[in-house]
Amino acid sequence: MERLRFFATTVIGLEDIAAKEVENLLNGKVELDMGRIVFEGRPTDIYLLNLKARTINKVFIQLCHSKFVNLEDIYKLAKSLDYTWIINPEQSFAVRTQRLGLHNFTSMDVSRVVGQAIIDAYTDAARKRLKVNLDAPDVEIYCLVRDDEFLMGINTTGSSLHKRQYRVYNHPAALKPTIASAMLKIGGYSSESFMLDPMCGGATIPIEAALEARRIPPGKWRSDFAFLKLKVCSPREFEKFRAEILAEEDLKNSPVIHAMEKSAKHLKGGMENAKKAGVYETINFKLGDATRVEDYPDVKFDLIVVNPPYGLRANPKEGVRRLYESFLKTLRTKFTDATLVLITAASKRFKEAAESVGVAVIDERKIWHGELLTSIFTCKT
């Protein structure tokens, strides 16, 4: 079967976690780049990754990766490609460009030049002028211009996979599910783990754990994948594939997953999200304060994964340090030798709190959560 070159985008700082996940899913080698991973696969891997991958944002079929000097080079590179195997003559397309570095042209210029090159190449090959539709194209072409590097690919995903369909309650400080899933992987989560999120908010972390434990693919609820319109994919083949993947679900598995939250409103919202994700009955929800030993469930947890407040909104920074200290003290009192995986943008405050309480930080990994530089800490209680 034909092999394709792919790249997939992920959160900057989580490339190795995404690479490992894709290596496991495809049983092949994956290379790392900044904010993306690169690999080879079969056309059907488009279905597999979009349905099952938990830590990537979008999957692209790579069309071109080359050095360039000026816009004319970019035109020549894009014009030299064959698009007839991927776009039907009656389909519309759009080019979206991301530009990083210093150039004497804009990202709009790149989109315009590449768009013209695609029209010219298609007209030469198939005697048909393709339509451009910038608002709702059938096929979206992505270009990255980074310094003297030009990368071009076809978006097989559509909108990012981090937008899980189960989020009916939007917590104001919700964590991206792809990051939640990566944190679980960092903590070595398995369906055998005794896992707790003691500040669960909208329950992203416990829901991602339950989906993983029950082998429920996070793309299960999506029907708007961009690949459904690509010439290399077939909706019928996808339906068959999807049915096979859904047959792997293990809905009888009862993992030990607990979620605690001090706000009744957020707890209720988290429960709604869990219901929508079909994992409500696998998660033990509890109203409680993570700084109070007596509020914790009487379970010997071995993994605590948490996204506490960063102190950027309501709490001033000193307040957040006090919260971190009192939370870590409580964890130390209640659990010995548990792994704690915690994400925060207030990394200095967290490190000060960990040091003053005597919690050992084993690892700190910097990642971008949207516009915010955050750290994922791995600690032992």
Ligand X SMILES: C[S@@+](CC[C@H](N)C(=O)[O-])C[C@H]1O[C@@H](n2cnc3c(N)ncnc32)[C@H](O)[C@@H]1O
Give the binding range for ligand X (CB under 6 A) out of 166-174, 250-258, 296-304, 354-362. 166-174
**Closer to ligand X by Cβ: residue 47 or 377:** 377
Q: Among residues 291, 330, 347, 378, which is the contact residue for ligand X, using CB under 6 A?
A: 291
Backbone φ and ψ of 142, nearest 5°: -105, 135
For ligand X, the closer of residues 118 and 306 by Cβ is: 306
Are the C-beta atoms of residues 11 and 176 closer than 8 Å to each other? yes
* Binds ligand X (CB under 6 A): choice among 78, 290, 338, 354: 290
For residue 201, state whether it binds ligand X (rule: CB under 6 A): yes
CB of 207 to ligand X, least distance (A): 9
Q: Distance (Å, rounded) from C-alpha 35 to C-alpha 11?
A: 6
Closer to ligand X at the Cβ: 83 or 327?
327
Could you tell me the strand order of the sheet in which 283-287 lies?
Answer: 283-287, 256-261, 194-197, 303-306, 339-344, 372-380, 360-369
Please say which residue, 272 or 289, places its beta carbon nearer to ligand X. Answer: 289
Q: Is 224 helix (H, G, I), strand (E, B) or coil?
A: coil
DSSP string, 22-75: HHHHHTS-EEEETTEEEEEE-TTHHHHHHHH-SS-SEEEEEEEEEE-SSHHHHH
Give the integer Cα–Cα distance in Å for 170 and 74. Answer: 41
Residue from the set 199, 211, 304, 367 that interacts with ligand X by CB under 6 A: 199
How many residues sit in the footprint of ligand X (CB under 6 A)? 21
Q: Are strands 256-261 and 283-287 parallel, antiparallel or unpaired?
A: parallel
- Contacting ligand X (CB under 6 A), which of 35, 187, 308, 311? 308
Please state, in angstroms and rounded to a whole number, the distance separating the CA atoms of residues 319 and 92: 53
Note whether 262 binds ligand X by CB under 6 A.
Answer: yes
Selected from 35, 43, 187, 309, the binder of ligand X by CB under 6 A is 309
Is residue 328 part of the contact set for ligand X (CB under 6 A)?
Answer: no
Binding site for ligand X (CB under 6 A): 171, 173-175, 198-199, 201-202, 204-205, 260-263, 266, 289-291, 307-309
